[in-house]
Structure 1
Amino acid sequence: MAQAAQAPSGTRDLLADEVRRRKAAFNTLAQIFEGFGFDPLETPAFENLDVITGKYGEEASKLIFKILKRGIHEASGQADLALRYDHTVPLARVIGTHGAKLPTPYKRYAIGPVWRADRPQEGRFREFVQCDIDTVGSLSPLADAEVVLALAQGLDALGVHDFTFMVNSRKALYALLEAYGIDTSAGPAVLATLDKLDKVDAAEVVKELTAARGLDPEVAEALVGDVAAETSDRVRERLGTTEQGQAGLTEVDRLIELAISAGLAPERIVYTPRMVRGLDYYTGAIYEVVAAGYPGSIAAGGRYDHLVATLGGPDTPACGGSIGIERILAIQGSENTEQRGLDVALTVLGNEEHLMRLATELRSKGLRVGTYLGSSTKLGKQLKWANDQKARITVLYGADEQAASEVTLRDMQTGDQRRVPLGTAAADVCRVLEQS
């Protein structure tokens, strides 16, 4: 026997119960985002390649799924399109395209799939859903705080309660590099290496900073020692000596202060000097969220004030964040999966026309109704089908019922049965369901 075809590596087939569980989570987040005044936005699954490239940094750029040119250009091996890597760059492109039609500031949320040519592993996919919120057109720290609060409320609604926002600032990070005499041009590469501190030990990070980034070993060790220290005192002391460093610390402290004033517990948001965020487009406050029992970060975001300008739009301030819904759902497993069956299953033992009319009437009342479509005329097999469909009520319409213009309603949990007139069957079914 030939081996069954499999879904592409890094992707999944989602069956009915899992789809319902995911939709419930997405709807929960959408309701919260709407409550904060964010509007929905949908963008194409792919963008022009020049829109996507050069926006994410050295490591992330390697994960972009490129689409080869089609038709007579296919043989060239060149690409002109790319699958959406995230929802942030498409948003920046939308601002440049439709900015005149949009309110200022523009607040939007996006819940949809993105694609990354990553190496598939447990809990890591090449196609996955991101849940993003962003505010474009505001420099106010209230905008950053509002995103943090919406993400926090979303996590809590998803059942993730023991979480911590690790906050930093790109201004503070670059000021720290300046304090160590590290050239600005080397900044992105150095920060990309520092971003690995949560994945590998400090010695490996020091080694990469010296071997690959060209830092003096003493500088590399001191830098890593500062950002990886248990407290932020040493970093705060260094940053306090420069104007940019002070601006970065003020940015961090103000975001934390606003979030706490709005009700976020102090232990849920802390300044974390080692937290970098690898994407190049961030310009100000940045954060990642970790939670007990969940690997890596489960939410992240920050301020990116110049991204829109790189795509031909105005130099517009912006900030936003994203919830790692896939990691959360994977860890939670299927214990919260809604296993929804049929409200009503109709057996077919003759007089199909009457059954079709009854099915239509039941559906008009908002019920989920299934009709037996198999070939067996045996009631036992049809009841097994109804049970497999997790039906709550099964309608029997055999020869005796047809002769009396009645139907039998069978409760599939208790096995209780009652005969009711065919003409009132839909109303009777609704009453039985309300009572069960």
Structure 2
Amino acid sequence: MAAKVVPARGMRDILPVDKARREHALHVIREVYRSFGFDEVETPALEELSRLESGQGGENEKMLFKVMRRGLAAEQALLPGDAADLGLRFDLTVPLTRYVASNAAALRMPFKALQIGPVWRAERPQKGRYRQFVQCDIDIVGEPGSLAEVELVTATHTALTRLGLTGTTLRLNDRGVLTGLLTGCGFAEDAHGSVLITVDKADKVGLDGVLAELRSKGFDEGSVSALEKSLTELLPLRDVRTPGVLESALPEAVPIKVVVRLREIADALALSAPGLDVQFDVTLVRGMGYYTGPIFEMSMPGSSSSIAGGGRYDNMVGRFSGRDLPAAGFSIGFERIVDELSSGDEETLAIALVHPAGANPGELLRKQQELIAAGARVALVKQAKRMQPLFDALVAEGYSRVVRARVAEDGTLEFGDPSDLTTS
């Protein structure tokens, strides 16, 4: 028996009807983002390994696909750490910050970038999670104020609404809230990263699970108990717009300007994205190490997973250029939304032009061009002995109409009028 031929583990083939749906979604997303003034850029799939392992990518740095160095002699002895010098990008943010540093002289600030492309992570494949997937990112570099966050969220909310994904919720937090909270509870600064990794699991394991893991890690019981008290009080709080609500519950170690910034964002979004439900969530962490301020995730009704996420990363560009630039970004989890969408060919009439074997190619192509000029998408389809299975397959591929061709007595082709493919 021949071996089953399948893509590499964690990768997949995209069939035509799915590809059409994906391209339709990408077209809508791209057009909405461009209408907000974002300029599309492109970065290489490969980056220097040292850049991808700079400590800013959180857990994703552990899932790098590394690329072997070229030109090595077969007999040359190398330690594993010296065998690779490049890696496939695990997100689009790290490459963008390098792009800005590389091309700073040619970019007008604030720079509003749109980037769409595949990324790779060597994680364990499972339903809805792949090793190669598409991200749709928008970033604003050079804008220090909350205008950047508001525009990022508004543009993304508009794109998702245009795709028919409504009723979305935005969870909002700030790294300043998290840092102040942990400091106020007595956690040492060098322990914050480990604590936040655990807190980030709250939506999956609950508060009890978070506390149990912190204790299993050996953190001071007094600090864990103080965090338990704070989180118990803060978890029910979702209102970020009413003055005094968060201030009264947060430790004094949280700067007041951080809460004011969150309120500014929420107040502005009430005007620019009135259909968006904005909620404060003290357990929202986002695992990337590069976030420095507001962070946010968008989700759909009834879903436990976010469909978009982002935040402010003011220190990242400076790591590569030596010149600090404020920056914020938002990324759509494209693979998580595309299955929720209908076919991308709904706005374009798709016609199957069915013809007999040996039909005159010139006549067929002339008729095809005539139908295309009228705004249709037209596929030439050779008639089969059993037409119903063929028609069923065409309907599944998104075709809704059929035009039949037959050979007339004089040898020329005659074409019928378009008819409903499902009843033909």
Give the structure-2-normalised TM-score. 0.85
CA contact (8 A) 2:182 2:192 kept: yes
Residue of 398, 404, 414 corresponding to 1:407: 414
1:296 match? 305
Change in 2 beyond 3 A, CA 1:323/1:371: closer
Change in 2 beyond 3 A, CA 1:44/1:361: same
Supply the AA of the counterpart residue of 2:252. Answer: T
C-alpha distance in 1, partners of 2:153/2:212? 34
Shift of 1:230: 1.3
C-alpha distance in 1, partners of 2:162/2:280? 24
Shift of 1:38: 0.6
1:424 match? none
1:231 match? 237
Supply the AA of the counterpart residue of 1:42. Answer: E
Give the structure-1-normalised TM-score. 0.83
Shift of 1:372: 5.1
CA contact (8 A) 1:348 1:371 kept: no
2:385 match? 381
C-alpha distance in 1, partners of 2:274/2:191? 36
Shift of 1:357: 5.2
Shift of 1:189: 1.8
Residue of 247, 253, 274 corresponding to 1:264: 274
Shift of 1:295: 2.8
- The structure that is helix-richer by fraction is 1
Change in 2 beyond 3 A, CA 1:322/1:3: same
Gap regions ≥5 residues in structure 2: 239-243
Change in 2 beyond 3 A, CA 1:382/1:278: same
1:432 match? none
Shift of 1:264: 2.5
C-alpha distance in 2, partners of 1:410/1:226? 71
C-alpha distance in 1, partners of 2:56/2:95? 13
Q: Which has the larger radius of gyration?
A: 1
2:44 match? 44
Residue of 350, 356, 360 corresponding to 1:347: 356
C-alpha distance in 1, partners of 2:322/2:114? 20
**Across the two proteins, how many residue pairs are aligned to each other?**
405
Change in 2 beyond 3 A, CA 1:234/1:191: farther
2:4 match? 4
Equivalent position SS for 2:321: coil
Equivalent position SS for 1:181: coil
Supply the AA of the counterpart residue of 2:248. Answer: E
Equivalent position SS for 1:186: helix
Supply the AA of the counterpart residue of 2:255. Answer: G
C-alpha distance in 2, partners of 1:311/1:120? 32
Residue of 180, 183, 195 corresponding to 2:185: 180
Correspondences of 1:155-194 after superposition (within 5 Å): 155-194=160-199
**1:57-114 Cα distance to aligned partner (Å, 9 max, x none):** 5422212222222342677342211111111111100000001101110001112111
Change in 2 beyond 3 A, CA 1:380/1:246: closer
CA contact (8 A) 2:202 2:210 kept: yes
Shift of 1:358: 4.9
Equivalent position SS for 1:162: coil
C-alpha distance in 2, partners of 1:54/1:161? 37
Shift of 1:41: 1.2
Equivalent position SS for 1:165: strand
Correspondences of 1:12-411 after superposition (within 5 Å): 12-72=12-72, 76=78, 77=80, 78-212=83-217, 214-228=218-232, 229-231=235-237, 236-237=247-248, 239=250, 241-242=252-253, 244-265=254-275, 268-330=277-339, 332=340, 335-336=342-343, 338=345, 341-356=350-365, 358-359=367-368, 367-371=376-380, 381=385, 387=391, 388-389=393-394, 390=399, 392-402=401-411, 405=412, 407-409=414-416, 411=418
Shift of 1:238: 5.7
Change in 2 beyond 3 A, CA 1:71/1:141: same
Change in 2 beyond 3 A, CA 1:393/1:68: same
Change in 2 beyond 3 A, CA 1:94/1:414: closer
1:433 match? none
Question: After the TM superposition, which of the residue ranges 28-37 and 341-350 deviates more from structure 2?
Answer: 341-350
C-alpha distance in 1, partners of 2:359/2:251? 85
Change in 2 beyond 3 A, CA 1:80/1:360: same
**1:332-380 Cα distance to aligned partner (Å, 9 max, x none):** 26x546487445344344544544555566556665444456xxxxx66
Change in 2 beyond 3 A, CA 1:329/1:416: closer
C-alpha distance in 2, partners of 1:147/1:241? 30
CA contact (8 A) 1:344 1:367 kept: no
C-alpha distance in 1, partners of 2:227/2:141? 34
Shift of 1:315: 0.6
Change in 2 beyond 3 A, CA 1:19/1:223: same
What is the CA RMSD across the aligned residues, in angstroms? Answer: 3.0
Percent identical pairs in the alignment equals: 34
Equivalent position SS for 1:298: strand
C-alpha distance in 2, partners of 1:351/1:188? 70
Shift of 1:51: 1.6
2:241 match? none
CA contact (8 A) 2:237 2:280 kept: no
CA contact (8 A) 2:24 2:344 kept: no
**1:186-237 Cα distance to aligned partner (Å, 9 max, x none):** 222221221111121323322332332x421232133144235312789633
